Structure 1
Amino acid sequence: MTLPFIMVLAMGFLFACGIYLMLERSLTRVLLGFILLGNGVNLLIILTAGRGAPPLTDGQNLSTLGMSDPLPQALILTAIVITFAVTAFLLAMIYRSWRLVRADSLEDDTADLQVAITKMIDSEAEASTDYDDTEFGDEAESPITGAVDLDDDGTPHEREAAEDIASKGANSARIGRTGTTSANKSGKGSDGTETEENI
């Protein structure tokens, strides 16, 4: 087996163990999984760099042909520092958890579970109701069927129908008043003669 193949196997093993440990409830195992995952990523970056000669010259031949790329090595140095910082943070969390509850494993919080169950029940109840939950309700430009009436003045169609009926009623009342007025204008007096009333 060649060296890159062995490194690929080692990288896969580190990734598998790291992910497995990070899925545990124990914070110590999560920490170990994070460290293994970080080392697996470092191996991955080294493998992407490929093989190359050290970046040294004899002072005469300044060609970079065949030299290894220094960027992956710089990335690994940065990743080591970040992994160290996160490891220190996780250690502080583990220590704090041990001081408070004398355990480093995460337990289910019954109050959080109750809140989550209540929110889930409320969201299912809201989803099952048959009303429009939009901002404008039946006043939207194209309201959906069964949109809720937010201002209790009826739907736009009902208001249009009521306005049409009111305008027709006003027109018929105006026509009725005009007919009555004209009848009063040309009426007969008490003596039987036609009189014309000026209005």
Structure 2
Amino acid sequence: MTERRSAARFVLVPPADAVVRSIQDVVLERLERRKVVIVSPTPGVHGARRTIHVNLGARGLRTLVGETWRTQPVVANGVLRHRVTLGIAEDAVGGPADWEAGDVLSCLAVRAVPTRLLNISARGCLLESASVELYAGAIGVLDVELQDGHHVEAFRVSRAAVQARARPSRLGVELLPIEPFGPSIFQLIAQLNDHVTAQPGDARG
């Protein structure tokens, strides 16, 4: 993400709690009645829930809600990936009653990850998160609750600075101008003078 160092940014004091919904392309490898196995770019977190959106082409979409049971590294086409086994929740929508893994055209995995919003500019922001699923190049949706309500912004992680063990990573994030999310979080934060500190300088996070 490129941005002039003279661009304004706002540092949130204290940082705002936020939720990131990370979105990943995955391969649905195996499907059973109460279990699904996917191959993912990142390892699963034991006990974490993921929503799996399955594209069946002309047969429509299916949604599975699963809890991570186990994860193991694998090499696929010379690239490190992770085989993640999830138990399918009872409240899954459109479960595997009328389709199988061979019917799948594409598959997306979505997971809600707690983060903190540290600062923001017109083009990007700095997030803090302990999640291994937020890596450089990852995409998703950022949800922030501000004084005037709930706001959503699409993003792409431009860089990830991994901290020491047991400390959250800091993520430089590029905000994507995708409609219909409405006014940008930056514009809204700029109006909250009692919640932020305006600073000139590097807004890349």
- Tell me the TM-score normalised to structure 1 length: 0.17
Which structure exhibits the higher relative contact order, with contacts defined as CA atoms closer than 8 Å and separated by 6 or more residues? 2
Is the radius of gyration larger for structure 1 or structure 2?
1
Quick check: which one's strand share is greater? 2
- Tell me the TM-score normalised to structure 2 length: 0.16
Quick check: which one's helix share is greater? 1
